[in-house]
Amino acid sequence: MRSELEASLVAKNGLLDRRLFMKGGLLAGSIAVFAKPGRVDDTSTEAAINYEAPVFDVQSASQSIGAFLPDSMKTPGAIFRGYGKPAGAESSVQRIILQPYGDLAPGAGIAMTPLQSLEGTITPNGLHFERSHNGRPTINPDEHEFLIHGLVQQPLKFSMDILSRYPLISRNYFIECAGNSFFNSNLFSEATQVSVGMIHGLVSGAEWTGIPLSILLDEAGLLPEGKWILAEGADSAGMSRSIPLGKAMDDAIIAIYQNGEMLRPEQGYPMRLLLPGFEGNMSVKWLRRIKVTSNPTYTKDETSKYSDLMPDGMARQFTYTMGVKSTITRPAGGLVMNGPGLYEISGLAWSGSGKIIKVEVSADGGTTWAAAALDGEPLTRALTRFRIPWKWDGLPTLLQSRATDEAGNTQLRRDVWSAQYAEGQLYHCNAIQTWSIARNGEVTNVFI
Ligand SMILES: Nc1nc2c(c(=O)[nH]1)N[C@H]1C(S)=C(S)[C@@H](COP(=O)(O)O)O[C@H]1N2
Ligand SMILES: [Mo]
């Protein structure tokens, strides 16, 4: 076994061939693998990852199984309930809430997805990140109206009832806030010790169901001068953004359902715009109108924010597409490695430009790289899970991941990414991020 493991080494410091865990027989009986990752909250670094499967004597185990009945087998279980909830023991899995303006504007802020506690690529609806500029409104779906007007032949007004009679499509897409990963941006000169959810948790993945916006715009009849749309939300922030008509007619959706149920209020109930791969801000929630215009409207939300300052003092306007990015979610900040041994590194990758085609992992701070396995068929502008086996020798190590998308974009080193912008750039940070593994197994966020 040892020599087979050695033969599987593909990069420095114990990274193993991505196919190793697919050869089931190789592992049977010889390697102790995975339990669930430890639960963490952002104040604790106590939780351990326990990958050691307990070894037991089969004979005595089968005797004691007969003699011992767990309490759950002695009384009837709980009765039915109308809407399910996570198991009680999972109650510490919560969104990470930041309210930068405190009581002045408690509804302006973020609630981040706890990526360290999740697996797969679909974010449970109750844990989808929320970014709201002035709280989430309560909207009565029976009274909500959605208007299409401006440079169209025929303005249209939809009730939810009329809208839901249109043919629907379902697509798996991520939404990512332009401010995601600001803890890795050049807003900071020193790395902050927070969980992976707090660094990268302004991204979530869901199956969205709704009506292609192109169908509704076609029905309204676009006038030739129409080149842009303005989308406005029915919240007290009056969030509004200009969107090039090309995107609106391409893959934009008026989303009504999220992972099979009606949108959550946090995500824009009863309807939102969804612009796959574009910065989350443009996917206007609680959508109330779309106006077709000849030019961008230059709303407050796209002039006071969401521009990128360059080193020469000029600002880049309208950076729509989210860059290619990845993050290792396990092991990750706040988790502790449970001694040397064989682990599975697991993480997420995504790109606003299309499909992820490659994720590489380094266990020596970016000197050597190994290709991770992509779990399932990568989808365009959706989260992709990657995994790679790793034999940690117990020495201090620097773990990184680097994703490449089908357009050929690859993540840059943090210093190289930073040098592209003026100091204090926090939007669109898709630089490589580094986890440091200490000898005692502690995982911390570092800048190298
Ligand atoms: N009406 C409205 N739409 C909005 C916002 C808002 O505050 N109001 N926030 C935007 C921002 S900045 C982001 S990143 C996404 C977040 O979507 P989510 O909260 O469903 O994750 O919604 C966008 N749409
Ligand atoms: Mo955002």
- Count Cβ neighbours within 10 Å for each residue of 22-47 and write b for 16 or more, e otherwise: eeeeebeeebeebeebbbbbbeebeb
Which amino acid is it at 240? S
Which amino acid is it at 251? D
Closest alpha carbon to 384 in 408, 359, 412, 415: 359
Residues lining ligand 2 (ion), CB within 5 A? Answer: 131, 177, 280-281
Q: Which residues pair with 211 in a beta bridge?
A: 254
In order of their start, the domains of the chain are: 131-313 (3.90.420.10)
Say what the pLDDT of residue 24 is: 57
Identify the residue whose C-alpha is closest to ligand 1 atom 21: 130
**122 Cα–ligand 1 center, Å:** 19
206: Cβ contacts below 8 Å, ≥ 6 apart: 122, 123, 125, 128, 172, 173, 175, 258, 259
Residue 40, pLDDT > 60, answer no
Identify the residue whose C-alpha is closest to ligand 1 atom 6: 132
pLDDT digits (tens, 9 = 90+) for 109-149: 999 999 999 999 999 999 999 999 999 999 999 999 999 99
Percent of the chain with pLDDT over 70: 89
CB–CB of 254/271 below 8 Å? yes
**181 Cα–ligand 2 center, Å:** 11
Q: What is the mean pLDDT of residues 353-380?
A: 97
CB–CB of 347/329 below 8 Å? yes
**52 Cα–ligand 2 center, Å:** 40
Which amino acid is it at 171? R
Residue 26, pLDDT > 90, answer no
Identify the residue whose C-alpha is closest to ligand 1 atom 19: 130
Residue 256 to residue 278: CA distance in whole angstroms:
19
**112 Cα–ligand 2 center, Å:** 11
Residue 327, pLDDT > 90, answer yes
Q: What is the DSSP letter of 416?
A: H
**178 Cα–ligand 2 center, Å:** 5
**382 Cα–ligand 2 center, Å:** 17
Residue 51, pLDDT > 70, answer no
Closest ligand, as measured to the CA of 280: 1
Identify the residue whose C-alpha is closest to ligand 1 atom 16: 131
Residue 49, pLDDT > 90, answer no
Instruction: Name residues contacting ligand 1 (CB within 6 A).
Output: 128-133, 175, 177, 233, 235, 237, 239, 266-267, 280-281, 283-286
Q: In the predicted model, what is the mean pLDDT of the chain?
A: 91
Say what the pLDDT of residue 268 is: 98
Closest ligand, as measured to the CA of 267: 1
Say what the pLDDT of residue 21 is: 79
DSSP string, 232-252: EESSTT--EEEEEHHHHHHT-
Which amino acid is it at 411? Q
Residue 447 to residue 428: CA distance in whole angstroms:
17
pLDDT digits (tens, 9 = 90+) for 158-187: 999 999 899 999 999 999 999 999 999 999
Residue 23, pLDDT > 90, answer no
User: Would you tell me how many other CB atoms lie within 10 Å of the CB of residue 79?
Assistant: 5
Say what the pLDDT of residue 114 is: 97
Task: Report which secondary-structure segment, H or E, holds 204.
Answer: strand 203-212
- Residue to mutate (ligand 1; options 128, 275, 285; most atoms within 8 A of CB): 285
pLDDT digits (tens, 9 = 90+) for 196-231: 999 999 999 999 999 999 999 999 999 999 999 999
User: Would you tell me how many other CB atoms lie within 10 Å of the CB of residue 124?
Assistant: 14
Residue 3, pLDDT > 90, answer no
Identify the residue whose C-alpha is closest to ligand 1 atom 12: 281
Closest ligand, as measured to the CA of 178: 2
User: Would you tell me how many other CB atoms lie within 10 Å of the CB of residue 101?
Assistant: 11
**77 Cα–ligand 1 center, Å:** 41
**132 Cα–ligand 2 center, Å:** 8
Identify the residue whose C-alpha is closest to ligand 1 atom 8: 239
Residue 94 to residue 124: CA distance in whole angstroms:
11
Say what the pLDDT of residue 68 is: 82
Residue 50, pLDDT > 70, answer no
Q: What is the mean pLDDT of residues 229-245?
A: 97
Token code pair at residue 303: 């002039």
Say what the pLDDT of residue 362 is: 98
Closest ligand, as measured to the CA of 123: 1
Q: Is the CA virtual torsion 293, 296, 302, 308 positive or negative?
A: positive
